[in-house]
Structure 1
Amino acid sequence: MKNFSLAIIGDIHGFWTSVDTEYFSKSEYDAVLFTGDLGTYRTESTFRVAQEISKIRKPCYLVPGNHDTTSLFQLLAEILHLPSFLTWPGLPWHLRRYSRFRKELGDIRICEYSLHKEIGGLTILGARPLSMGFRLNFLPFLRKKFSVSNMADSVRKLDSLGREAAESGEDLLVLAHNGPAGLGNKASDIWGCDFRKEEGDFGDTDLATFLEHAASYGRTPNVVIAGHMHHHTKRSVLFRIWKVRKSGTLFINAARVPRVFRDAEGISWHHHVRLRRKDGAWDAEAVYLRNGKEEVFPLPELLEREKASVKEEVSLLP
């Protein structure tokens, strides 16, 4: 069975430099995977990062995040749960931004309700794009591009892709922007809510339902990768759990934001996650590059604690 080494880049939010581009281009990774949210609230920042990552000389895969191609008004409408008819007039402009986004990404493969089998022995399933967690987001866009009007539509599309992937017998990796529900309801859980007093599970229910269905027809994904819920929570908990194993599936939240940062001594660090399959077993580790070029051992104490914020097996039985 073939071994793999994949780089996972969590939500970038503008934190990308030419140093990153060169590092991943020269690396020994078989491919580079992005969980989306390339820019900030300005679409031009998204396009700038898209142009830069398109220069990586490796196969790249990306699922669009809620900051990719959307406007500030659309984001506010989702946060405030405004009726979708208020955002319908802006759909033509959203589609134009989306078209430019795809153009700026060049040869990067867009993973959105799609299967990708370019890497021998591995199938990548792209989940629902532009997710903000918990409910269906950007409905006008989803209806126009994917004929998805509700969660049931989304589940059906994911199920169809999952059954097709099962026929190949290859390992299956799901690439999403936000992770599935069902992995905890605390602020520090992998996709737990850290910005509400009552906390709660902020995972996607359509993705969780798909995973249940996949288990029933014998094609549970080996790995589920997402981001969106940032490692540094807004609560008293310092770090979010970023890696969990449950029922044979490895779940990874790669959203260390900012992914490029300086420590107290002024040293620059660049974060990503290294995902490996060795002898049929999948595992992941957080990687912190000193000045974006080399790993350092041991890491500063704070980063070692962040790196170790994982759960090797989780049971949510009552």
Structure 2
Amino acid sequence: MRRLRIAAVGDVHDQWDERDNAILQGWNLDLVLFVGDFGNESLTVVDCVSRLSLPKAVVLGNHDAWYTATPWGRKKCPYDRRQDDRFQRQLQMLGGDRVGYGVRDYPELEVSVVGGRPCSWGGSTWNLQDFYQSQFGVGSLQESGDRITAAMTAATQPLRVVLAHNGPFGLGDAPESPCGRDWNPIGSDYGDPDLTAAIRASQEAGQPPVLVVFGHMHHGLRHTKRRLRQAFAQDEWGTVYLNVASVPRIVGKGDEMRRNFTLITLEGETVTEADLVWTDNQGRIDRSSSYFKPL
């Protein structure tokens, strides 16, 4: 049975440097997954991530289009967008590692990584029409779901992993659900229905994804400090869903600095381990917590 070690990186928010690259390089990893939100169109962070010399897949988050996608962001943009399109520059830096609305096959791992909707703000309402039409040629939730479904269908490898910024609709409507709304008005499912439609189509076609990795909805809840967001779910098809957005991902200073990663073990078609780990600057793990217990 093939055993794969995968690292997933939650929302970065400007907390990434060459030490993170070195830590991942020092571990025996087969694949690294990034859910985006590197910063507010932060070219420095994206450039650093692009230099990680491991098999990797990346989807961009809403902050990665912060000054491009919305009228408010364009008004607040600190650079001259007529001279410098930093959103496009991020796409160019990431090159073929970017999987939003697409698929990347890793034949040596027998894995295909399918990307969900890039730059998702979350929720069931189709917003940012001009942005998605101009950047991706997508004009509705239906078209968005069709694009993700097409990427699923184009996958060539037996193991399908879905990588998205925001998770799918249908994982619960409580504030602490994996994609639950934790700000006023409290409650409701803030997942992406287009992603749900694509996952369900793949499941019904007899090719259920083994794993769906996403972030956006931070583990820390806004309305209470007494508990954290639910980070794990599994459906009747056996698909495992992991929200890996433990933010901030770096805490402390100097020798007390700690940084988090999610380490996932895949044995055959089964996710057997998924742990949020905290390391020092040399990559020594000093604390970990399991997202779930193996079935």
Equivalent residues in 2 for 1:209-248 (5 A)?
A: 209-236=197-224, 237-247=226-236, 248=238
Q: CA offsets, 1:119-145, max 9 Å, x none? A: 431011011101010133432221123
> Offset at 1:32?
1.3
Aligned to 2:33, the other structure's residue is in SS state strand
Q: Give the C-alpha shift of residue 308 in structure 1.
A: 4.7
Q: 1:142 aligns with which of 132, 137, 145?
A: 132
Structure 2: how far apart are the matches of 1:48 and 1:258? 18
Question: Matches of residues 230-269 of structure 1 in structure 2 within 5 Å?
Answer: 230-236=218-224, 237-247=226-236, 248-262=238-252, 267-269=256-258
- 2:283 aligns to what? 293
Whole-Å Cα distance in 1 between the matches of residues 240 and 207 of structure 2?
14
Name the CA shift for 1:279/1:129 in 2 (closer, same or farther; >3 Å). Answer: closer
AA in 1 matched with 2:87: Y
Counterparts of 1:181 and 1:4, CA distance in 2 = 28
- Out of 54, 61, 71, the position equivalent to 1:58 is 54
Q: State the Cα deviation string for residues 226-258 of structure 1 (Å, max 9, x = none).
A: 100001110114311112222201101111110
Distance, in Å, in 1 between the alignment partners of 2:82 and 2:282 is 36
**Displacement of 1:108 after TM fit?**
5.9
Shift of residue 77 of structure 1?
7.1
Question: Partner of 2:172 in structure 1?
Answer: 184
Q: Does residue 1:132 correspond to 2:121, yes or no?
A: yes
SS at match of 1:117: strand
| 1:67 corresponds to | 63
Query: Could you tell me whether the CA contact under 8 Å between 1:130 and 1:137 is conserved in 2?
Result: no
Alignment correspondent of 2:163: 175
Q: Percent identity?
A: 26
Quick one: distance in 2 between partners of 1:187 and 1:266?
Answer: 35
5+ residue gaps in structure 1? 79-85, 87-91, 314-318
Q: Which residue of 2 aligns with 1:118?
A: 106
Query: Structure 1, residues 203-223: CA drift from partner, whole Å, max 9, x if none?
Result: 001111222222221121110
Matched, 1:48 2:10: no
Cα RMSD for the two superposed structures: 2.7
Structure 1 contact 222–250 (Cα < 8 Å) conserved: yes
Q: Which of 78, 85, 99 is matched with 1:96 structurally?
A: 85
Q: How many residues align?
A: 285
CA gap of 1:95–1:215, structure 2 versus 1, over 3 A, is: farther
- Partner residue of 2:39? 39
CA 1:279–1:217 in 2, change beyond 3 Å: closer, same or farther? closer
Q: 2:274 aligns with which of 281, 284, 290?
A: 284
CA distance in 2, matches of 1:280, 1:199: 33
- Distance of aligned partners of 1:309 and 1:31 in 2 relative to their CA distance in 1, 3 Å threshold: closer
Going from structure 1 to structure 2, the CA distance change for 1:191 and 1:22 (only over 3 Å counts) comes to same
- Structure 1 CA distance for aligned equivalents of residues 203 and 247 of structure 2: 32
Structure 2 residue matching 1:275: 3-state secondary structure: strand
Match of 1:30, as an amino acid? Answer: D
**TM-superposed deviation, 1:284:** 1.5
Gaps of 5+ in 2: 76-80
